[in-house]
Amino acid sequence: ILPMPFHTLEDLIDSYIYGSAIVVGYFLAHVYGAATPGQFEPALEISRNLAIGLQLTNFLRDVKEDQRRGRLYLPLDMIRAAGANPDDFDDPGNRQKILGVVRELADIADGYYEKSNEQLAAFAPDCRVAIKACIEVYRKLNERIATSTDCIARRESVPAREKWNALPASKYWRLPWAMIRG
């Protein structure tokens, strides 16, 4: 299977993110459940928004690695609008233009996180902590990418301590001992 370019953000969402992340979000909405039966549709919408945000952030984190492997998940129309060449991430001038596209997509991803966070009450109460922690950790990663001066050449990550801080202390005991040991 050969990688294919995505011409627009909508194309990327419909042709790739739907099958890779949105359907997983829909599945998890069924697992987590809605706060009330009437809130299941909003829970599905949150799942869709969160899936798009998560997948965009993953793409942005891995831009250079994906490019090295012959994959490009940045929409071509955004690359062209920035005056960038999608085939050369090593040229410093072009890399700055690609970085502008990365920052624009990070801003779009953050909008999806914001929408998800605003409607979190649609999910069953016992699941909200996990979903909120996911949103918080990925927003931190997204922010690191957006503010990085070299995220194309260097993969950004969120330190373990910041990930732990996304969970309330009352939930730490639920984490498996194997994770704690490292």
- Whether residue 115 is contained in a domain is answered as yes
Residue 19's contacts (CB-CB under 8 Å, 6 or more residues apart) are none
pLDDT digits (tens, 9 = 90+) for 17-57: 999 999 999 999 999 999 999 999 999 999 999 999 999 99
How buried is residue 141: exposed, middle or buried, by Cβ count under 10 Å (0-12/13-18/19+)? buried
Provide the domain count of the chain: 1
- Whether residue 153 is contained in a domain is answered as yes
Where residue 13 sits, what CATH number does that domain have?
1.10.600.10
Q: Residue 34 is part of which domain span? A: 9-181
Q: What's the predicted TM-score (pTM) here?
A: 0.90
- Whether residue 1 is contained in a domain is answered as no
